[in-house]
Structure 1
């Protein structure tokens, strides 16, 4: 189906300029499909908002030449199963927007195809980003934000293992070990997946440090403590 045939069936004709034939208009500016197309172009451009720029443009995610104009995208949408309940989805999240890499899917499908499902190999083990976040016991956005800002995975792991910042109340110099003024005791704790899973108090700093070390080995499989 050509664009003119589509317009005859679904669109409208605009009044021609003097001496010229009628020209067809898709008549869809401002519609959901037009907004999807425009949004796709904006977030992949160099002038996109910073969070979109690092997630799309900086990663080489582009819109194919064919879809630089709305007409071909409109025809593809209506011949590839578009419905108002569906959203456009890239089959391979590391490739751009094009007819051979896009489909219309329910929103929940698209969510499963986002960065948390990317697979990364590290020291011979391959896991999704979500699985690595759970493995290292970090917040669900910790790894993804750094990947979007251009960090390589080895750098992210090194930062997890050797954090440079401590809680402002920390007097021990060791993450996860601090002096509890309310109880006049040393406290050792650890978090996994953004939640504190173990929290214990000790009479001495040495006991708390040893406990923290054991917690790291138990929950993370490695320790930052010598």
Structure 2
């Protein structure tokens, strides 16, 4: 008789290598041994009984439905139309939607969002706070770094542009790019890697859509 694969369990096999009990635990938690060592919900301050994925039933339900265990209808109903919420949606789009216009400059070159922010607007808003002034933009201090608390701030449009990949290009570099490409010395991809900017910037320079002189 085939037995459950969980060490110490002699019960009859039911499915996926486990007895019925461990199979049900596996389906719910992703681990047939889970449950016995779970005490409570991992949400800070919550004393409810553990249910699944580290949460009690209430927080687990919010997590699976909204991607945020701390979601509340009142909170997001009031902020879903705010400029901060639009920024949060926008950075997720540019990092993970391959069809987005700016994907090449963000997700396409390895820029990501920390898990804390990626799955929770509440966490993003708590860390970033309300915009300090009208038309403030989110800026990554290290332009090659990710969207995360220690690397982001609200800034003016001018400061944001100065810190962008485009600001790495100078007139001298523009001339070098065009010369190397026109002489067949380097491809667009190679130039992108050499000067540390995305391919679209190099293409625009070569086609003289930018840096006209």
TM-score range, shorter-chain basis?
A: 0.3 to 0.5
- Kindly indicate whether structure 1 or structure 2 has the higher relative contact order, using CA contacts under 8 Å at least 6 residues apart: 1
User: When the two structures are superposed, what TM-score results if normalisation uses the length of structure 1?
Assistant: 0.45
* Greater share of helix: 2
Q: Which has the larger radius of gyration?
A: 1
User: When the two structures are superposed, what TM-score results if normalisation uses the length of structure 2?
Assistant: 0.47
* Greater share of strand: 1
